[in-house]
Amino acid sequence: MNKVRIKGERLWNALMELAQIGATPKGGVKRLALTDLDRQGRDLVVQWGRDAGLAITVDQIGNVFMRREGSNPALAPIVTGSHIDTQPTGGKFDGNYGVLAGLEVVRTLNDHNIQTEAPIEVAFWTNEEGSRFVPVMMGSGVFCGAFSLETAYAAKDTEGCTVKSELERIGYLGSQVPGEHPIGAYFETHIEQGPVLEDADKVIGVVPAVMGLSWYDCVVTGMEAHAGPTPMGLRKDALQVATVIMQEVVAIANRYPPYGRGTVGMVSVFPNSRNVIPGEVKFSIDLRNVNDALLNTMHEEMLAFIDKTSQDSGLSIAIDRVSYYPPCPFHPDCVDAVRAATAELGYSTMDVVSGAGHDAIYAARLAPSGMIFVPCKDGISHNEIEDARADHLEAGCNVLLLAMLERAKVVSAVK
CATH number at residue 269: 3.30.70.360
Please check whether residue 12 is in contact with residue 19, taking contact to mean a CB–CB distance below 8 angstroms.
no
Its pTM stands at: 0.91
Element (H, E) at 47: helix 36-51
Mean pLDDT of the chain: 97
Classify 267 as helix, strand or coil.
strand
Domain boundary among 276, 298, 325: 325
- Please check whether residues 228 and 182 belong to one and the same domain: no
363-410: per-residue pLDDT in tens? 999 999 999 999 999 999 999 999 999 999 999 999 999 999 999 999
CATH number for the domain spanning 163: value is 3.40.630.10
What does the pLDDT average to over 142-154? 97
Asked whether residue 3 is domain-assigned, the answer is no
Residue 321 and residue 342 in one domain: no
Residue 295: C-alpha distances to residues 249, 282, 305, 325, 401 (Å): 12, 23, 15, 10, 35
Average pLDDT over residues 137-149: 97
Please tell me whether residues 140 and 249 are part of one structural domain: no
Query: Which one of 325, 340, 359 terminates a domain?
Result: 325
Q: What is the pLDDT of residue 322?
A: 87
- pLDDT tens-digit profile of 326-342? 999 999 999 999 999 99
Q: Greatest CA span in the chain, whole angstroms?
A: 87
d(CA 237, CA 246): 15
Burial class (CB in 10 A: 0-12, 13-18, 19+), 414: exposed
Residue 63: inside a domain:
yes
Domain shared by 186 and 238, yes or no: no
Please check whether residues 95 and 174 belong to one and the same domain. Answer: yes
Same domain, 201 and 233: no
Residues 128 and 79 both lie in one domain: yes
Give yes or no: residues 310 and 333 share one domain. Answer: no
- pLDDT level of residue 1 (50, 70, 90 thresholds): low
Q: Is residue 187 part of a domain?
A: yes
Q: Answer whether the bond into residue 258 is a cis peptide, omega within 30°.
A: yes
State residue 412's pLDDT score. Answer: 81
In-domain check, residue 112 = yes
Based on the fold, state whether residues 50 and 78 are members of the same structural domain: yes
DSSP character for 77? P
Peptide bond into 332 cis (omega under 30): no
Asked if the structure places residue 2 within a domain, the reply is no
Q: Please indicate, yes or no, whether residues 162 and 236 belong to a single structural domain of this protein.
A: no
Question: Number of structural domains, the chain?
Answer: 2
Structural domain of 374: 8-210+327-412
**Which of residues 325, 342, 362 is at a domain's end?**
325
- Asked, for residue 176, whether it belongs to a domain, the answer is yes
Is residue 206 over pLDDT 80?
Answer: yes
Q: Looking at the domain assignment, is residue 1 inside a domain?
A: no
Q: What angle do CA 392, 396, 398 make, to 5 degrees?
A: 115
Domain membership of residue 87 (yes or no) is: yes
Are 337 and 321 within one domain?
A: no
Query: Predicted confidence band at 415 (pLDDT cuts at 50, 70, 90)?
Result: low
Q: How far apart are CA 208 and CA 74, in angstroms?
A: 29
More confident residue, 185 or 357: 185
Identify whether residues 80 and 147 lie together within a single domain: yes
